[in-house]
Amino acid sequence: MSHTPDICVVVPTIREYECMRAYFENARDHGFDLDRLHVVLVTEDFCDTDEMRAMLDEEGVSGEVFDGSRRERWYDEHGIAEYDHLVPAASHAETSFGLLYLWANDFEYGFFIDDDTLPHDEYDFFGRHMANLGFAGEIERVASDENWVNVLYQNADEHGLYPRGYPYSAMDETVETDTAHVSDVVASQGLWTNVPDLDAVRILMDGDLQGQAQTRTSADDYDGDFVAAEGNYLTVCSMNLAFRREVVPAFYQLPMDDNRWDVGRFDDIWSGVFLKRACDVLDKTIYNGGPLCEHNKAPRSTFGDLTNEVPGLELNEHLWEVVDGVGSEARGSTDRDGATSDADAFAAVFEAMGTELAEGDFEEYENGAFFNYVGEYMLDWLAALDELRPVRTTPAAADD
């Protein structure tokens, strides 16, 4: 059965793009229709884009390759060259280009896949994520007295791990679980085996100087899928993630690395905080658990990651407090006529959070002005999406 592609798969890569062959093989093995996928490889000018295109051709999968030069041409063609600053070069945050691409085209779903991951054979990777996005029913709900959920909570007593981006002030939390009926799932976060997704401080505490962590996770560390309770935040890692189109306005991957404060490594973490706040306001759900992926992070200096993380560590402790309670005026503003109204509601919450950051006084924090910078970029993000809207909507009236 053949489909017009309705899923945009975004892969930031400069070296291990061949990992996608394993994902395509997984789809074939589980009977998932590869014609539904359109793969966007986001790379750099110094990479072999011809080889990347050849790989997609050999696999028979629809897709495009965007190095820096081609991204610049795409911005020009779509009339948003003035917003090219939104996507930093040579940064993991360039996944935001994939969101712009998805928004400008008729894709109803997006996937983020990191190039240092592989699917687990036992999971129908794409099918499981799509089933999660369509889920409605009973599921474990997790909360804590610190208003944060450790996505590794299920075996935390054994391994003691907290993921990258989890606030230090929220550790040693008391975890509470119950069962809830959920629907309106807008994002599906798959978790990971092998190398856990930790920050550099925690990797150092685990005795590893190669950026990986000596403590590893396995499928035995996970015991069922779950959601974080309303009012509770969680780390959202973009290495293994699926989402609905409607969240794009509130899912900007934050501008990291290329800024005067040298803040890095929190692009997906902070976007997850914003997405969770928007979901709580709009009664939407982030689903967590399977499909697991195998995370094979390459060795690198733990101190290099630490250098990138330190400028934002204090800000990460407080970001959620700044946006918690913001955007509630958008509650109930969406109807059930379709994704457009839902996307507008996500945009309204995101605008409120962006304004709060852009206009706030954060001098008490180390590098507090970076919050203002992020807020300004968030508002620019919404402006860029507005500029892209005519590409995917009905033709203008004759008198325009």
User: Which structure tokens are listed for 138?
Assistant: 């009973």
Q: What's the pLDDT at 331?
A: 75
Say if CB 295 and CB 261 are below 8 A apart: no
Angle of CA points 327, 332, 334, to nearest 5°: 100
Q: What's the pLDDT at 394?
A: 37
Q: Would you call 69 helix, strand, or coil by DSSP? A: helix
Q: What's the pLDDT at 392?
A: 41
Q: Indicate the residue type of 186.
A: V
Q: What's the pLDDT at 332?
A: 61
Q: What's the pLDDT at 24?
A: 98
User: Which structure tokens are listed for 319?
Assistant: 């970001």
Where does 240-380 show beta strands of DSSP type E?
240-244, 285-295
Cis amide linkage into residue 311, ω under 30° from 0: no
Cα–Cα distance, 134 to 377 (Å, whole number): 31
Q: How far is CA 340 from the centre of its chain?
A: 21
Q: What's the pLDDT at 15?
A: 84
Q: Which of 248, 247, 237 is nearest to 284 (CA)?
A: 247
pLDDT in tens, the chain (400 residues): 556 899 999 999 988 999 999 999 999 999 999 999 999 999 998 889 999 999 999 999 999 999 999 999 999 999 999 999 999 988 888 999 999 999 999 899 999 999 999 999 999 999 999 999 999 999 999 999 999 999 999 999 999 999 999 999 999 999 999 999 999 999 999 999 999 999 999 999 998 999 999 999 999 999 999 999 999 999 999 999 999 999 999 999 999 988 999 999 999 999 999 999 999 999 999 999 999 999 999 999 999 999 999 999 999 999 999 999 999 887 765 544 444 479 999 999 999 999 999 999 999 999 999 999 999 999 999 999 999 954 443 333 344 3
347: CB partners within 8 A, 6+ apart: 249, 250, 382, 385
Q: Would you call 134 helix, strand, or coil by DSSP? A: coil
User: Which structure tokens are listed for 201?
Assistant: 């401080």
Dihedral class, residue 232 (left if φ above 0, else alpha if ψ from -120 to 50, else beta): beta
Cα–Cα distance, 357 to 96 (Å, whole number): 19
Cα–Cα distance, 273 to 266 (Å, whole number): 10
Using the Cα atoms of residue 243, residue 186, residue 319 and residue 101 in order, give the sign of their dihedral: positive
User: Which structure tokens are listed for 35?
Assistant: 């014609």
3-class secondary structure per residue, 330-371? HCCCCCCCCHHHHHHHHHHHHHHHHHHHHHCCCCCCCCCHHH
Q: What's the pLDDT at 91?
A: 86
Q: What's the pLDDT at 341?
A: 78
